[in-house]
């Protein structure tokens, strides 16, 4: 199929390309933070927790974005509070809260006789289902991410390098970690429609791992992450469209192949 001709002809295809590009750049900003702070589990946790918001939205026949956003932020806030104020690790807190949110979603759906949503798109993602509301939401989250980086870049660098040392320089570590949690949760909500909850690592983890592998200093990390995420997302999308494959899994495999090559080259 002639993809360029179809891009001109079909608006949904242009929307999908725009959404893929925007989400790939957005996640590339967040992924290095997740990798350097060893927060990989939080992405999966938030993604699974959004199921509760999706269930309530489906029952009430409402737009899922507001409820899913609230659910993800509440989950992230709970994780932050119990891991900082309690005696539990972040992973233990996520492992405890994740089944609770999932259970709430399942119980909510079990009470509905009219639930018809295809769960495969939630599990594996479907970029072709992106609409204008998703684009607007992604742009808002991306703008918030840029503001976060603009005002807290120096604090973030100290925090990523050494959390205890950053406290010595007067950085409010608790507030910064909470903002990071919220930022990650919003990014997950934005990304889940493309990657699904199962393939969330494609956007939340892989760009950061690639950047950490190939970058020689902290200044190279962000550009490396953005290039990796954007190029692999677009290449994966084109391959999926050309060979009639599901976009989310194709993007995931394309990203993994690129990451594997980078790791092999850098180890030599």
| Average of per-residue pLDDT across 157-162 | 84
Question: What confidence category does residue 114 fall into, taking pLDDT thresholds of 50, 70 and 90?
Answer: low
Domains of the chain with CATH codes? 3-110+119-267 (1.10.3470.10)
SS3 content of the chain, % helix, strand, coil (to 5): 85, 0, 15
Question: What confidence category does residue 102 fall into, taking pLDDT thresholds of 50, 70 and 90?
Answer: confident
Closest CA to 97 of 108, 111, 83: 83
Closest CA to 189 of 57, 85, 91: 57
Tens digit of pLDDT for each residue in 218-246? 788 999 999 999 999 999 999 998 898 88
What integer pLDDT is reported at residue 1 of this predicted model? 54
118 vs 231, residue with greater confidence: 231
| Average of per-residue pLDDT across 134-143 | 92
pTM as predicted: 0.88
Are the C-beta atoms of residues 208 and 42 closer than 8 Å to each other? no
Tell me the average pLDDT of the chain. 86
What integer pLDDT is reported at residue 37 of this predicted model? 87
Residues 236, 252: Cα–Cα separation, whole Å: 8
167 vs 86, residue with greater confidence: 167
Tens digit of pLDDT for each residue in 11-51? 888 888 998 999 999 999 999 999 988 888 888 888 888 88
130 phi-psi bin (left φ>0, alpha ψ -120 to 50, beta other): beta
Residues 125, 268: Cα–Cα separation, whole Å: 36
């Amino acid at each position: 199929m002639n993809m360029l001709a179809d891009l001109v002809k079909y608006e949904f295809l242009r929307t999908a390309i725009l959404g893929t590009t925007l989400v790939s750049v957005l996640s590339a900003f967040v992924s290095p933070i997740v990798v350097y702070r060893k927060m990989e589990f939080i992405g999966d946790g938030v993604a699974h927790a959004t199921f509760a918001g999706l269930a309530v939205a489906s029952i009430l026949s409402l737009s899922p974005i507001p409820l899913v956003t609230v659910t993800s932020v509440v989950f992230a806030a709970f994780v932050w509070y119990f891991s900082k104020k309690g005696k539990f690790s972040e992973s233990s807190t996520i492992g405890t809260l994740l089944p609770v949110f999932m259970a709430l979603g399942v119980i909510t759906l079990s009470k509905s006789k009219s639930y018809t949503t295809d769960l495969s798109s939630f599990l594996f993602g479907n970029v072709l289902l992106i609409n204008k509301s998703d684009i607007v939401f992604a742009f808002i989250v991306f703008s918030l991410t840029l503001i976060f980086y603009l005002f807290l870049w120096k604090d973030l660098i100290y925090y990523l390098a050494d959390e205890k040392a950053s406290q010595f320089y007067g950085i409010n570590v608790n507030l910064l970690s909470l903002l990071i949690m919220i930022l990650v949760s919003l990014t997950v909500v934005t990304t889940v429609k493309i990657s699904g909850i199962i393939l969330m690592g494609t956007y939340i983890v892989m760009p950061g791992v690639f950047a950490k592998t190939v970058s020689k200093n902290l200044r190279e990390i962000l550009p490396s992450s953005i290039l990796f995420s954007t190029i692999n997302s677009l290449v994966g999308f084109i391959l999926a469209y050309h060979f009639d494959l599901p976009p989310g899994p194709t993007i995931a495999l394309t990203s993994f192949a690129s990451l594997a090559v980078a790791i092999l080259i850098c180890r030599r």
